[in-house]
Structure 1
Amino acid sequence: MRIASVNINGIRATHRRGFGEWMVSRDCDVLTLQEVRCAVGDLPEGAFGDYHATYDPGGIPGRNGVAILTRRAPAAVRTWGAEVLVHAPDAGRSWAAGGGHGTLARGIARYAAEGRYLEVDLADEPFTVATLYLPKGGLPAHLQLAGRMREAPDGGAKYERKMHFLDAFARQLARSRKAARARGREFLLTGDLNIAHTRLDVANWRRSQQAEGFLPEERDWLDRQLSPRTLVDVVRRLYPHAEGPYSWWSWLGGAYERDTGWRIDYHLATPGLARRAVTAEVDRDYRGVRLSDHAPVVVDYAAGRN
């Protein structure tokens, strides 16, 4: 089973760069998308190809939005309380409401309308697959030095918001993983976590130690989510000593050409599913064109149970 995760950073722009052709050529069984950033009425023709699409556009125009594309209609859909939209490949441009949600962990309902999280139970495999777009965040107030920031200082507001999200999401993630196990399913979290975990995950790690996404407290949080008994970083398991493979590069300063990137897009799987991962690739470009500032992370999982 081939599962890919990609932050497309705007579905209309990425389709103009060849996303539809990439979908066909890659022939994934499941695609999880982040930053779709498009109202349903503005989606390009054939936006999700020949897949069943489950989409939470969120309530912030032009921001966020997550989707999961599957070969067959999912057996179940869950969000954090938002109304999700579902679409069959033969339904033209019509969409229907669907999905539901379970018990939410403390603090997570605050983000329910932002289009950041969605999970489905696959119909043809005993998996629950989730997609997440985690807030980028910012710097704490004491690191916000005048003249060293592209954005205006905010007194640490974005940093505090991200830390609150991380605290609430850790509880929700544990709850979702355990609920999947109770249903007899493996659990896979995919998406843009906006955190690089180790020195192997940032090309310029020394320079980045006081940058959002590589702060010690962010990396410690990701440490606590991973263990051989809970969730495994699938790509790092397959490539334990490799630098990268990076999945995000700034559009600025020739970062992409020099491969000075960050690995912030993940497949985090329960141990049984992680053991089934056979290959993992990052699709840096498609026919010489970058689809987004992120690249798809594509993992092949062997059939059957371990």
Structure 2
Amino acid sequence: MGSEQLTVVSFNVNGIRAARRRGFDSWLAERSPDVVGLQELRCPPEEVGEFDGYTASFDTGSIPGRNGVAILTKSPPTAVRTWVTDPPKARGLREYASHGRYIEVDLSDEPVTVACLYLPKGGLPADLQRPGNIREKPDGGAKHLRKMTFLSGFARELDRNRLAARRAGREFLLIGDLNIAHLEHDVTNWRPARKMEGFLPMEREWLGEQLSPRRLIDVVRVLHGDRPGPLTWWSWAGESFTKDVGWRIDHQLASPGLAARARWTEVDKEPSPDVRLSDHAPLVVGYDRAG
């Protein structure tokens, strides 16, 4: 798209080693984005590897085979912050500080702070759990409660980081797998999804509270318009991918100044199931650079 634009990707790779075996590096070279936020690296730090033409900033976390986030940038960032180097101040997040769920970089070639988040998937509240109708063993709503506690703390942390960027003269961009679909347009079969984790009323309400014209803007929804899609996740199972039955749980939420420069969005969905890099597809947005 040319150097006059800043191309940003959010991509849950569902294991960077597996994604690279499936062709991630070829996709990266062909797309050639300026910034790539990755979630679910799912590997130890020594196995993240190098990415030709990019500086990789990452936090793989302390839980083997789980979580892990990274931001790849064509130009080395001027600063990198993780919850290990800069622990979250909000209550409810401290137990996650070593889990590899959040990383933030200050771009060196653009006055923008980019944050990458892998938000907990969560579970169902106790009143929606019925043995036989959920995949996992009933837990009395424990995973759901942990997710809601995380959301409460992260809302405060997000405000703090967004305002810190503004004070430093920077725009702010949160990208990542938020494990929440916001609107009916974001889920193919939205009616039954209302009783599924990721589309519960309280989760959708939380995401809506983070969005406003003066705070953060869902640039993908603005660019795509008030219509179904775009989808970014499809189950590995069945024919979800082929029939395009999926969810948009991957997001790019921009501060107002940056959102005003968002020009186009694409989802790099592969042409067939056998060449999928992940159960997610890269979510790409092109922004005009600061004048």
Structures share a fold, TM > 0.5? yes
Deviations 1:200-250 (A, max 9, x none): 000000111100000000000001000000000010011121211000000
2:105 to 120, 124, 143: 120
CA–CA distance in 1 between the matches of 2:135 and 2:227? 31
Q: Secondary structure of 2:212's partner?
A: coil
With normalisation by structure 2, the TM-score equals 0.95
1:2 equivalent to 2:12? Answer: no
1:17 equivalent to 2:22? Answer: yes
Gaps of 5+ in 2: 1-5
CA–CA distance in 2 between the matches of 1:151 and 1:159? 13
Deviations 1:18-56 (A, max 9, x none): 100000000111110000111122345x4x232111010
CA–CA distance in 1 between the matches of 2:86 and 2:199? 32
With normalisation by structure 1, the TM-score equals 0.90
* 1:228-239 alignment runs, 5 A limit: 228-239=213-224
* 1:1-306 alignment runs, 5 A limit: 1-43=6-48, 46=50, 48-80=51-83, 82=84, 100-101=85-86, 104-285=89-270, 289-305=275-291
When the two chains are superposed, the root-mean-square deviation of aligned CA atoms in Å is 1.3
Equivalenced residue count is: 285
Q: Secondary structure of 1:55's partner?
A: strand
Deviation at 1:292, TM superposition (A): 0.4
Gaps of 5+ in 1: 83-99
Deviations 1:164-202 (A, max 9, x none): 000000000000000000000000000000000010000
CA–CA distance in 1 between the matches of 2:53 and 2:289? 23
Q: Give the stretch that moved more between structures: 182-191 or 48-57.
A: 48-57
Supply the AA of the counterpart residue of 1:38.
C
Supply the AA of the counterpart residue of 2:242.
E
**Contact 1:193/1:265 (CA < 8 Å) preserved in 2?**
yes
CA–CA distance in 2 between the matches of 1:164 and 1:147? 27
**Contact 2:235/2:279 (CA < 8 Å) preserved in 1?**
yes
**Contact 2:88/2:97 (CA < 8 Å) preserved in 1?**
no
**Contact 2:87/2:94 (CA < 8 Å) preserved in 1?**
no
Q: 1:43 to 1:121 in 2, by over 3 A?
A: closer
CA–CA distance in 2 between the matches of 1:103 and 1:190? 18
Supply the AA of the counterpart residue of 2:255.
T
Q: Secondary structure of 1:190's partner?
A: strand
CA–CA distance in 1 between the matches of 2:14 and 2:93? 24
**Contact 1:106/1:171 (CA < 8 Å) preserved in 2?**
no
Q: Secondary structure of 1:24's partner?
A: helix
Deviation at 1:158, TM superposition (A): 0.5
